[in-house]
Structure 1
């Protein structure tokens, strides 16, 4: 069974990202990424979600290696937007400028709330495994 640090390094390498590039995307220092990959520390909270986004995988897979959450192999990833993303952009572009900021703020707030809930669930799962 692999550890979080092993999965993180494996996925970063698969995506052909340097530690520095990953650090830039997650907005942490390259030393932080180095420590995560060497198992000295673990990403928490917002960093875990930014890391999973940058590595194009789920935070659950990063933390626990759940097979059903395994990421799509890098060779099969598409850089094109899917239909929902295109629809969202189209709808956003059709809004008056006066409404765009409000909707962005609402979406950011929803994402933050979901991330906080997910973090609580991950923590509860981690704590229940310790027992």
Structure 2
């Protein structure tokens, strides 16, 4: 139903599973009053609560948030599946190894993966043409801030601008007692950045690349 709200979908799934608000709250790890507020659309589940709620209701978080009419939205995820939040370039620029989805607010979209990743892992949707031809706009990359990059790895980094960057990592050794590296685009039309010329912070290392076919 197009007029369904988040609360309506929570209540519907709870009743389908024959759960009381109290028993659902126990499964999620919150008080029954929180379930009541969610079902009445007074507040919305976020972060870890959203993931726990989706697991308890045996559905995907996307079904709770958006009500997408797809079989995948009403089936429990596989035991080895991890939900990785999709961040904007601005959010990625502020991300650290200590960040988790509980630090995010508002509606969150996720990518599912079976990789073993830290709780700080996130997904970035590629934009722009600086990493063509290997990475096209709209591709998804999964980044783990707890993995240190090796030469040739692809990384997300912050160089003082508002938004993060996605580039190839190339170490240049120790210069004047400082480890120097470059952020290299794959498209020659874009400049290479050096850490001894501009302040650069590595946010995380790419662990997975999903390339999506586009129809023209």
Q: Is the 8 A contact 2:22 2:32 kept in 1?
A: yes
C-alpha distance in 2 between matches for 1:27 and 1:59: 17
Q: Is the 8 A contact 1:19 1:34 kept in 2?
A: yes
Q: Aligned pair count?
A: 90
The aligned counterpart of 1:11 is: 13
User: Is residue 38 of structure 1 aligned with residue 37 of structure 2?
Assistant: no
The aligned counterpart of 1:71 is: 74
> CA offsets, 1:32-58, max 9 Å, x none?
000000010000000000000000000
Q: Is the 8 A contact 1:52 1:58 kept in 2?
A: yes
> CA offsets, 1:50-84, max 9 Å, x none?
00000000000110000124415xxxx9xxxxxx8
The TM-score with structure 2 as length reference comes to 0.36
Q: Structure 2 matches for 1:21-100, cutoff 5 A?
A: 21-68=23-70, 69-72=72-75
Structure label with greater radius of gyration: 2
Structure 1 unmatched ranges of 5 or more: 78-83, 86-106, 126-131
- Offset at 1:115? 4.1
What secondary structure does 2:108 align onto? Answer: helix
The aligned counterpart of 1:101 is: none
- RMSD in angstroms over aligned alpha carbons? 3.2
Runs of 4+ that moved beyond 3 A: 114-120, 122-125
C-alpha distance 124-23 of structure 1, shift in aligned 2 (>3 A): closer
The aligned counterpart of 1:91 is: none
C-alpha distance in 1 between matches for 2:61 and 2:85: 12
Structure 2 unmatched ranges of 5 or more: 88-100, 111-216
Q: Answer 1 or 2: which has greater helix percent.
A: 1
